[in-house]
């Protein structure tokens, strides 16, 4: 009677390596997508901060007859806006006074903090809003167009 060949039971080393390789590839893709999601989610800190600053500017204007400038932005109310950074601290807020066709105005800017995680967001390094509600945004390279603004403010 011929001896039957016995097939080994279990998983071979090659099969195990293939499974580990596929798992590593999937984990890398998932981690990258998660980082991108966090970056986009933290942009809402900038948009919310600018909208809060816009509301504070309108209140300041009603009380004082003019918009707060750069010097008053960080001062506590009623002498200022009390807003130097966004709520989560990912962005610094700044105000620049403007005059457009004799109308007093301002441009508020939220810029990613150099020591924070949003500094790596090269697509939306800074976001702006002015007294008329016009929104803007710029990349780390300084590109500021309608497509950048739409992407950053969504």
Q: State yes or no: pLDDT of 44 exceeds 60.
A: yes
5 in a structural domain: no
Cis check: omega of the bond before 19, within 30 degrees of 0: no
Q: What is the pLDDT of residues 50-87, one digit of tens each?
A: 999 999 999 999 999 999 999 888 899 888 898 888 99
Domain count, the chain: 1
- Is 146:137 a contact under the CB 8 Å cutoff? no
Give the pLDDT band (50/70/90) at residue 147: very high
- The CATH number of whichever domain residue 112 belongs to comes to 3.30.700
- CA 31 from centroid of its chain's CA atoms: 18
SS3 content of the chain, % helix, strand, coil (to 5): 45, 20, 35
In a domain, 3, yes or no: no
Report the distance separating Cα 111 and Cα 28, nearest Å. Answer: 29
Q: Please tell me what DSSP assigns to residue 5.
A: P
Tell me the whole-structure pTM to 2 decimals. Answer: 0.79
Q: What pLDDT digit, counting tens, does each position of 105-137 carry?
A: 999 999 999 999 999 999 999 999 999 999 999
Report how far apart the first and last C-alpha atoms of the chain are (Å, whole number). Answer: 77
- In this predicted structure, the answer to whether residue 11 has a pLDDT above a threshold of 70 is yes
Burial 84-115 (b: 16+ CB within 10 A, else e): ebbeeebbbbbbebeeeeeeebbebbbbbeee
Residue 144 lies in a domain: yes
What CA–CA distance (Å, rounded) separates 131 from 139?
Answer: 22
What is the predicted pLDDT for the residue at 78?
85
Domain limits at 126?
13-153
Query: Does pLDDT of 21 surpass 80?
Result: yes
Residue 1: its pLDDT value, please? Answer: 55
* 2 part of a folded domain: no
Task: Judge whether residue 7 has pLDDT over 80.
Answer: no
Cα angle 81, 84, 86 (rounded to 5 degrees) comes to: 105
Confidence of residue 100 (pLDDT cuts 50, 70, 90): confident
């Amino acid at each position: 009677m011929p001896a039957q060949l016995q097939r080994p039971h279990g998983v071979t080393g090659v099969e195990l390596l293939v499974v580990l390789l596929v798992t590593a590839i999937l984990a890398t893709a998932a981690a990258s997508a998660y980082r991108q999601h966090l970056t986009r989610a933290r942009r809402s800190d900038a948009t919310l901060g600018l909208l809060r600053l816009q509301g504070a500017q309108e209140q300041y204007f009603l009380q004082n007859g003019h918009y707060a400038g750069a010097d008053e932005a960080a001062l506590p109310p009623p002498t200022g806006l009390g807003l130097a950074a966004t709520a989560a601290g990912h962005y610094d807020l700044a105000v620049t006074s403007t005059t457009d066709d004799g109308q007093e105005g301002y441009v508020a800017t939220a810029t990613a903090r150099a020591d924070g995680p949003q500094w790596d967001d090269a697509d939306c390094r800074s976001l702006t809003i002015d007294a008329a509600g016009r929104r803007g945004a710029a990349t780390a390279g300084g590109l500021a167009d309608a497509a950048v603004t739409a992407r950053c403010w969504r």
